[in-house]
């Protein structure tokens, strides 16, 4: 009888130990799973925080241009030097890059390497075309007497559009690095979360340009 009781106690202890270990592993697995989800959310959350801060930055610079747009002194007015046709084309190309970004993200999700590389390449080329137009435009403005230090209107203009151009350049460099990485690693590289986060940045830059084009290039004629 004593041996039987001893066996029951031993079995009960083993059961408790197994349950404790099982609970520990379940808790660890849940924590690990939560950690993975948190990592993904944090990446996107960080981008949204960046976009939020950039909204304040560009909002301030747009307001600065609106306040100073007529403060040209003896320098030419913005309407005297703007080339609306060229800027409209560059805006259209930048909008096309947003479409290419959507298609690139879709190809990444479907793990279609060739399509992903094609549309990522289109994003990079569109970004470079936009930057090329901006450099040409800036050179034309400066030669026409509308330079960085010509007037408050000119300074406000170059500060705003130059800052946006820098953001486009950063986006082009990052998307270019993603394209090169996919060419090197091929099918082994498909990181949907990274491309989706970059897509948020790229679309934000495009939306900001639509605001700049409307307020800076079109409203000045009103």
Q: What domains lie within the chain, and their CATH numbers?
A: 47-221 (1.20.120.80)
Give dist(CA 185, CA 178) in Å, integer: 10
Q: Which residues of 15-31 are buried (b: 16+ CB within 10 A; e: fewer)?
A: eeeeeeeeeeeeeeeee
Question: Once rounded to an integer, what is the mean pLDDT over residues 139-153?
Answer: 90
Q: Which of 129, 111, 94, 96 is nearest to 182 (CA)?
A: 111
- What is the pTM for the complete model shown? 0.77
Q: What span, in angstroms and rounded, lies between the C-alpha atoms of 110 and 190? A: 9
Stretch among 19-33, 102-116, 140-154, 175-189 having the lowest mean pLDDT = 19-33
Q: Average the pLDDT over 157-171 and give the result.
A: 94
Reported confidence tier of residue 210, pLDDT bands at 50, 70, 90: very high
Distance CA 22, CA 94 (A): 55
More confident residue, 97 or 34: 97
Q: What is residue 125's predicted lDDT score, i.e. its pLDDT?
A: 96
CA-based nearest residue to 117, from 39, 179, 210, 188:
179
- Whether the CB-CB separation of 179 and 126 falls below 8 Å is answered with no
Q: Residue 112 — very low, low, confident or very high, per pLDDT cuts 50/70/90? A: confident
Checking if the pLDDT of 207 tops 50, the result is: yes
Query: Where does the pLDDT of residue 219 fall: very low under 50, low under 70, confident under 90, or very high at 90 and above?
Result: confident
Q: Average the pLDDT over 90-109 and give the result.
A: 93
Instruction: List, for residues 2-19, the tens digit of each pLDDT value.
Output: 454 444 544 444 444 444
């Amino acid at each position: 009888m004593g041996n039987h009781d001893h066996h029951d106690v031993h079995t009960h202890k083993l059961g408790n130990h197994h349950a404790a270990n099982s609970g520990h592993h379940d808790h660890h697995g849940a924590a690990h799973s939560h950690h993975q989800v948190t990592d993904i959310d944090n990446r996107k959350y960080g981008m949204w925080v960046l976009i939020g801060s950039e909204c304040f930055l560009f909002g301030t610079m747009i307001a600065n241009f609106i306040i100073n747009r007529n403060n040209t002194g003896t320098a030419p007015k913005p309407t005297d030097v703007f080339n609306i046709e060229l800027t409209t084309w560059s805006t259209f190309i930048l909008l096309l890059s947003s479409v290419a970004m959507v298609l690139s993200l879709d190809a990444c999700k479907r793990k279609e390497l060739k399509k992903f590389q094609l549309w990522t390449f289109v994003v990079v080329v569109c970004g470079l075309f936009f930057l090329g137009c901006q450099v040409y435009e800036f050179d034309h403005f400066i030669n026409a007497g509308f330079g960085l230090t010509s007037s408050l209107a000119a300074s406000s203009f170059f500060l705003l559009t130059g800052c946006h151009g820098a953001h486009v350049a950063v986006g082009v460099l990052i998307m270019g690095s993603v394209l090169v990485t996919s060419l090197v690693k091929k099918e082994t590289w498909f990181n949907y979360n990274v491309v989706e986060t970059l897509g948020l940045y790229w679309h934000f830059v495009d939306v900001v340009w639509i605001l700049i084009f409307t307020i800076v290039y079109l409203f000045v004629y009103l």
